[in-house]
Amino acid sequence: MEKIITNDCHLKEEDITEIVRRVKVLLINSNNEILLGYSNNEYQCPGGHVEDGENLIDTINREVEEETGIKLNIKEIEPFACSIGYYKDWPSMGKNRKIEIYYYEIKTDEKPNLSNTKYTSSEQEGNFELKYISLNDVENEFIKNAKIYEDKHGITKEMLKVFKVYKSLK
């Protein structure tokens, strides 16, 4: 598993007051297309926060179903990358957060089932939609979208790093 580390404030592990774990899934079909969520003018892979009592695999199964309606039944899988970010005084002063995002590849030709989705209020307000994009075009699509809408949350920058790792493994 490749680690992608961002630590602009040079925090040490002992400086961290909170750790957040998330998963993101590259859902790839046999047409070599990736299924992405698009909301608030940003692309993201399906995924989300690990909830209390969940392991990473449970989170993959739950989040993919909530965001795509696709019911996976993954029992075992290893991440190909982990993006680790260290953030000083975030989300508030005196809190130093470490965010670990584990990235997985899942090959599936299952189609989204929107009747099974459960979008957050933020996703609904951001007009969340699902889009298939060719793997050959996805990085250019990220860059084009970021030029139009900027990369306010750094998601595009992270996604481009993740795809660089992903392509290096193929």
Q: Given this model, what pLDDT does residue 122 score?
A: 84
Q: How far apart are CA 37 and CA 32, in angstroms?
A: 17
Mean pLDDT of 44-73: 97
CA 48 to CA 107: how far, in whole Å? 19
Please tell me the predicted confidence (pLDDT) of residue 46. 97
- For 2-30, the pLDDT digits (tens) are 999 999 999 999 999 999 999 999 999 99
Identity of the amino acid at 99: I
Q: Quote the pLDDT of residue 126.
A: 83
Going along the chain from its start, the domains and CATH numbers come out as 2-169 (3.90.79.10)
Q: What is the pLDDT of residue 152?
A: 84
Task: Answer whether 20's CB lies under 8 Å from 95's CB.
Answer: no
Question: DSSP strand E in 9-112: where?
Answer: 18-28, 33-39, 42-44, 47-49, 81-87, 97-107
Average pLDDT along the chain: 95
- The reported pLDDT for the residue numbered 170 is 80
Give the tens place of pLDDT for each residue, 80-129: 999 999 999 988 999 999 999 999 999 999 999 989 898 888 888 888 99
Task: For 116-143, write each residue's pLDDT tens digit.
Answer: 898 888 888 888 999 999 999 999 999 9
Distance CA 77, CA 92 (A): 34
Q: Please, which residues have CB within 8 angstroms of residue 20's CB and are 6 or more apart in sequence?
A: 49, 97, 98, 99, 100
